Amino acid sequence: MTPLARASHPQISEADAAALTELYRRGTPANTLRAWERDMAYIAAWKMASFGRPPAWPEDEKVALRFILDHAQDLSERPGAAQDVAMQLIALGLRRALTCPASATLDRRIASWQAFHRMRNLASPFAAPLVQQARQKARRANARPHNPKSAKPLTRDILETLLATCDASHRGIRDRAMLMLAFASGGRRRSEVTALNVEDIGLDDFAAKGLVWIRLLQTKTTRQDQAPRLPMKGRAARALVHWLEVSKISAGPLFLPVSLADRPLPRRLAADALRTILRHRLVLAGLPVDFATPHGLRAGFLTQAALDGAPLAAAMKLSLHRSAVQAQRYYADVEISENPATDLLGD
């Protein structure tokens, strides 16, 4: 039984508790549920190794403080209880190394722990002033330079190089359509691309306007009741329609696996298929296999928008970024090189 299913609600009936647990499941994105499960497995193992007992609800503030302290230092050269616990977690496959985890990892695990407190309508121990202060100090002490999710943004010129490797086979037509859709519709995440169904593609305006509409039922920043419809034009729209025509699919998954005999197979691609496809195309294009990741298509869309002078707000309407600060990073990287102040001494 998962931690979510074990949630206790002492002030309501068992039937209502079960209904509330199911409501959390249906109202939370699948990726978030999986992250909660992984984080709670880690937290439960850490608590058992550190204190010899499972998590308590509500958890004690001293336990929350110890969790932060144990994850705010490099334990490689620090023998003691914290190092012993870390070694147990490594043996269980829950921790990678004795080095200090990234601040983002610690923040995510704490957020998951807090989420399970909210499910029980309990106050979080991480809201205590001393614990909050320790968390802030740990974040500052272990701050690291920002590492992009992709080594390089896949801007238009690089994307064109990859598209040139896509031939007229079913695999080539599919890969061309996937790469162009992921880029041109706003820099879609790989899970969003593989989750698309034929029913999510609107072709009513294609014949007259060359326009295709893409409905995203669920993304990292939107819910199903907010399902955005995004436009895709030109070559990208034609590439997608061409895939629909040659694959002859009319319902179900939009992008299918292709057999070695070059036949589309009637099942959905794996969620990580875009990574495999991108690596294959990078190799065919003579680029290193680690030249970029699927996030490079998302970064490439925003970087290209900045290079072409598209307003940030317009690009965000397609990328669906909620944070202008995050989206602005791509624009800032481009704009600073064009800043007149960088050329004060001339050539």
Those residues whose C-beta lies under 8 Å from the C-beta of residue 322, and which sit 6 or more positions away, are: 221
Overall number of domains in the chain:
2
Q: Which pLDDT value is given to residue 19?
A: 78
Residue 344 maps to a domain: no
More reliable by pLDDT, 6 or 162: 162
Token pair 């990292």: residue: 220
Domain span at residue 252 reads 156-338
pLDDT mean over 133-137 = 91
Helix and strand tally (H, E) in the chain? Answer: 15, 3
Q: What percent of the chain has pLDDT over 70?
A: 86
Phi, psi dihedrals of residue 174, rounded to the nearest 5°: -65, -45
Domain-located, residue 106: yes
Assigned domain for 297 exists: yes
Supply the CATH number for residue 318's domain.
1.10.443.10
Residues 221-249 have pLDDT tens digits of: 555 556 688 999 999 999 999 999 999 99
Amino acid at 131: V
**Taking phi first (over 0 means left), then psi (-120 to 50 degrees means alpha), and beta for anything else, what does residue 217 get?**
alpha
1 within a domain of the structure (yes/no): no
Residue 72 Cα to chain centre, angstroms: 24
Q: Are 333 and 303 spatial neighbours (Cβ–Cβ below 8 Å)? A: yes
The answer as to whether 174 is a domain residue is yes
For residue 230, the surrounding DSSP H or E stretch is strand 229-233
Domain membership of residue 5 (yes or no) is no
| Direct distance between the N- and C-terminal alpha carbons of the chain, in angstroms, rounded to an integer | 67
Average of per-residue pLDDT across 282-303? 93
Which token pair is 211?
């326009």
Model pTM above 0.75: no
231 & 179 share domain: yes
Residues 47 and 56: their CA atoms lie apart, in Å, by 9
Q: How confident is the model at residue 9 (pLDDT cuts 50, 70, 90)?
A: very low
281 and 314 assigned to the same domain: yes
Question: What is the CATH classification number for the domain harbouring 71?
Answer: 1.10.150.130
Does the residue 294 lie in any domain? Answer: yes
Please give the Cα distance from 294 to 182 (Å, whole number).
9
Q: Give the least confident one: 98-112, 142-156, 205-219, 261-275.
A: 142-156
Q: What is the pLDDT of residues 30-73, one digit of tens each?
A: 778 888 899 999 999 999 999 999 999 899 999 999 999 999 99
Q: How far from the centroid of its chain's Cα atoms is residue 318's Cα?
A: 16
Q: Please indicate, yes or no, whether residues 122 and 161 belong to a single structural domain of this protein.
A: no
Chain segment 136-158, per-residue pLDDT in tens: 998 888 876 655 555 688 999 99
